[in-house]
Structure formats: C-alpha cells, structure tokens
Amino acid sequence: MELWKAMELDNAEQLVLCQDRNSGLKVVIAIHSTSLGPALGGCRMWDYATEEDAIRDALRLAKGMTYKCAVSGLSYGGGKAVVMGRPDSFRRKDVFRALGRFIETLRGRYVTGIDLGTTVQDMDVVRLETGYVTDTTGSLCATGDFTAEMTAYGVFLGMNQSLMQDNGSNTMANITVAVQGLGKVGSFLCRYLHGAGARLIVTDVDDQRVRNAVQQYGAAAVHPDHIYACACDIFAPCALGAILNDSTIPQLQCRIIAGAANNQLAEEKHGIMLNDAGILYAPDYVINAGGIIVTAAELNGYDESIARRQVERISATLSTVYQASLSEGIATSAAADKLAEQRLSRVLP
Ligand code: NAI
C-alpha cells in the first residue's frame, strides 16, 4: 500500500501507526483535519482482513468526521482510531491503557470515544492515561442512550425539514415512514414518529425488535429485502451503510430519504441518481450529526438541555444544504460536501 498516496487521496493530515508489544495493541490513528479544532472520532475495534483495510477504513472514517463536524458548524476536526483484532478479556485492559498512552502523546490533536466494538468500560481504561477521551462512565454521552436518542431526534427534525422542503408542510400526520433497522437509533426514531402521528413500516433482521414495533406503534412489518420497494413518503435507513446503490435506487417508491445510517450512498454517483429520480436525499452526515453535536457540547462544558438545543440546528443546516442544491442545480450530497469544504477553506491558511 502506498501510504502517502492514500493520505493525499483523502487529504489527511496525519497517520499514526502504533504497536505495544506487552499488550499486543496494534492501532491506526488517522487525523484527517485539525483546521477547525481537535480531531473527534471514536475508536473502532475490528478484525480487519488486512492492515491495508484497517488503514483505509481509518482514513475514510476520519474524513467523514471532518465533514460532519464542519457542516454542523462545530469547532472540531475529524479523526478515528482503529484497533486491529479483538483482544481476549484478559488482555483488553492492557490494550486500552496502551491506547490511552499513545493518544496522550498526541497532546489533544485527537480525542477518542466509543465506536463499533468498543465500550464505555474501554474508555474508562483509556481515561487512566489521558484526558483526551469521551464516553466515559458518568459522561453525558454515556448516560442512558442519550447519544442515540439525540441522533434520532436530529433525524426526526431533519425529516420535518425535508417534508417542508418537499411540499411546504412539515406535518407528520398521515405521512408514512419506512424504517430500516430498529436498533438504538431506529427505535427512538419510531417513538418520535409515532408521537407525531406518522404511520410506520418497519424492518429488522432481529424479529423481536420488529414484533416490539408492531405492538407498540401499530407498525406494518416487512421482510428486510422488501423495505426498498415499499410505497412510503420517507425512507429512513437506520442500519447499514451503502444501501443506496445501483440495485436499490430503482426500487425506491419514496419522495424523501432521511435516516441515521452512516455512508448511505454506495458511491458519489448515487447522490446524483437520487437527484435525477426526484428523490430528496437528506445527506447522512448532516442529518445524523446529533451524536457528535452532543459530544462537542459535552467537551465544551454544556449540559443536556443546551446539547439538545444545539441538535435542533440540524434543521437549519439541512435547509441551507437544500437551498444550495436548488440554486446551484447540484445533488444534495454534493451541496453538503461543498458547504463542509467552504467552512474548512475559510480557516485554512
Ligand atoms: P444498532 O446496532 O443499535 O442498530 C442497528 C439495527 O439494524 C439492529 O437492530 C440490527 O439488527 C439492524 N440490522 C442489521 N442489518 C439489517 C438489515 N440488513 N436490514 C434491517 N435491519 C438490519 O445501531 P444504532 O446505534 O442504532 O445505529 C444505526 C445506524 O446509525 C448505524 O449505521 C450507525 O453507524 C448510525 N449512527 C448511529 C449513531 C448513534 O448515536 N448510535 C450516530 C450516528 C450514526
């Protein structure tokens, strides 16, 4: 793998590879940008097939965090730590202590937190070595499911904004929303939508979660493969990435796509395909920024109510993206990238 080329491709600032022989830790820390402030982004722990996969994932995820922070108006940049493999429970504490020591050497250029495969308890261990960590026990982000709830709240508000953009009315009454994935975010989202009078169609690979939504909200259930072709007003992807692709887009029967999942577009061209199909796409990293907004609020010393108010700004950001898309005749995904890049270029030397 050509490391410099990979960094240049994503315009990443710094790539740090660390290994600790005692614990067996091998971690890639990618810092995409600190132009707006310290790089935020959780620590993912995963069995990557190759080292190259881990490095590419870290670079890609860090860039996504930069764009998410920039478009949301946060004074933070983007980074990501990717720990290779899964240590057994015996070594786990040593691994995260070593990670904390490496993060400390970066002197605040990167602040870590939880992501796929890591837990609040892991972050408590990191905390023993560095203050540059969020999601520790007792923190706002790690209390209950506040982060997931705020992500769902942001998505719900973004749906209202999208309805307004689409037909000039943001009422959810008689609006049908198809929710893909009833995990932490998807289940909070269903609660908001049901409370606002929306009709729900739901799917999940976990049958119990589907049964719960049917019972609690009177939702109609469909097989996971059939969610794309459902007749609905809004399709809300809240499970996997890359689900908007050559095979699914032609099936869609919705007017709006607004959901929490990261990296919904398989490729950039799929944003253009949605635009050409007349489907209003709420760019994922704009509408799902509730979690990172809460993290930033906590780092800035704000409490829950201020964090919640800051999540409410997602509506205005989305509106700016939609206006730019219309006035420039470009896809909403491209308009979001442009807005993020404008904010970044204003602070670059
Ligand atoms: P989760 O892991 O709690 O829930 C995901 C759900 O999707 C699970 O119920 C799972 O069974 C279901 N699922 C998996 N494959 C599926 C398939 N093929 N069809 C239908 N359902 C399927 O995850 P969480 O936290 O709710 O996050 C959902 C999405 O939102 C993820 O893409 C995540 O990266 C993104 N996100 C989450 C944030 C958070 O605060 N939790 C913040 C920003 C983005």
Tokens of 284: 């994922």
Residues 104 and 246 in one domain: no
- The pLDDT, as a whole number, for residue 170 is 87
Using a 6 Å CB cutoff, which residues line ligand 1?
147-148, 151, 180-186, 203-206, 209, 224, 238-240, 260-262, 288, 291
| Residue range 185-210: mean pLDDT, rounded | 98
Q: Return all residues near 265 (Cβ < 8 A) that are at least 6 apart.
A: 242, 244, 245, 271, 284, 333
- The pLDDT score that the predictor gives to residue 105 is 98
DSSP 135-173: S-TTSGGGSTTHHHHHHHHHHHHHHHHHHHHHHS----T
Considering the domain architecture, whether residues 150 and 132 belong to the same structural domain is answered as no
Mean pLDDT on 160-185:
96
Residues contacting residue 336 through CB under 8 Å, at least 6 positions apart: 67, 71, 283, 285, 286, 321
Q: State the pTM of this model.
A: 0.95
- Residue 172: is its pLDDT beyond 70? yes
Structure confidence by residue, pLDDT tens digits, 113-137: 999 999 999 999 999 999 999 999 9
Of 37, 43, 51, the C-alpha closest to 130 is 43
**Cα–Cα dist 42/192, whole Å:** 26
pLDDT of residue 46: 93
- Residue 348's pLDDT is 54
Q: Is a pLDDT exceeding 70 seen at residue 224?
A: yes
Look-up: residue for tokens 């949301």? 72
pLDDT band at 347 (very low <50, low <70, confident <90, very high): low
Q: Do the domain assignments include residue 70?
A: no
pLDDT of residue 15: 98
Work out the average pLDDT over 327-338: 98
Q: Note the pLDDT tens digit of each residue in 252-292.
A: 999 999 999 999 999 999 999 999 999 999 999 999 999 99
Residue 217 has pLDDT above 90, yes or no: yes
> At 202, is the secondary structure helix, strand, or coil?
strand
Radius of gyration of the chain (CA): 20
Q: At 280, give phi and psi (nearest 5°).
A: -80, 115
Residue 32 lies in a domain: yes
CATH of the domain at 53: 3.40.50.10860
Pick the most confident of 74-78, 140-144, 169-173.
Answer: 74-78
d(CA 180, CA 203) in angstroms, rounded, equals 5
On the question of pLDDT at 346 being above 90, the answer is no
Which of 26, 63, 68, 80 is the catalytic position? 80
Burial 128-146 (b: 16+ CB within 10 A, else e): ebbebbbbbeebbbbeeeb
Q: Is residue 105 part of a domain?
A: yes
Q: Per the domain annotation, does 322 fall within a domain?
A: yes
pLDDT of residue 110: 98
How large is the average pLDDT for residues 210-214? 98
Average pLDDT over every residue of 41-46:
96
For residue 299, which phi and psi values (nearest 5 degrees)? -60, -30
Residue 312 token pair: 């409410």
- Hey, which bits of the chain come out as E strands? 14-20, 25-33, 39-40, 43-46, 77-84, 110-111, 176-180, 199-203, 220-221, 234-237, 256-257, 280-281
Q: Which atom of ligand 1 is nearest to the CA of 150?
A: 40
Task: Assess whether 282 and 220 both reside in one domain.
Answer: yes
Ligand 1 pocket test, pick from 65, 150, 226, 238 with the greatest ligand atom count within 8 Å of Cβ, gives 238
Distance CA 328, CA 332 (A): 10
Tell me how far apart the alpha carbons of residues 284 and 314 are, in angstroms, rounded to a whole number. Answer: 11
The pLDDT score that the predictor gives to residue 260 is 97
What are the structure tokens assigned to 208, written together?
């119990």
List the domain range (segments joined by +) for residue 36. 3-63+75-137
Claim to verify: residue 106 and residue 211 sit in the same structural domain? no
Tell which one of 57, 146, 151, 180 to mutate to probe ligand 1, the residue whose CB is within 8 A of the most ligand atoms: 151
| Separation CA 45–CA 57 (nearest Å) | 11
pLDDT (mean) for 326-333: 98
* Entry field: residues in the chain: 349
Q: Are residues 206 and 301 in the same domain?
A: yes
Average pLDDT taken over every residue of the chain: 96
198: CB partners within 8 A, 6+ apart:
172, 173, 175, 176, 177
Indicate if 331 and 289 belong to the same structural domain: yes
> Which of 137, 154, 188 corresponds to the end of one domain?
137
Give the dihedral sign, CA 10/341/320/322. Answer: negative
What is the tally of structural domains in the chain?
A: 2
Whether residues 99 and 24 share a domain: the answer is yes
- The CATH number of the domain holding residue 321 is 3.40.50.720
- 295 and 232 together in one domain: yes
> Around 26, how many Cα atoms within 13 Å sit in the side-chain half-sphere?
11
CA 194 – CA 209 distance, rounded (Å): 16
* Cα–Cα dist 188/199, whole Å: 15
Q: Is 80 a catalytic residue?
A: yes
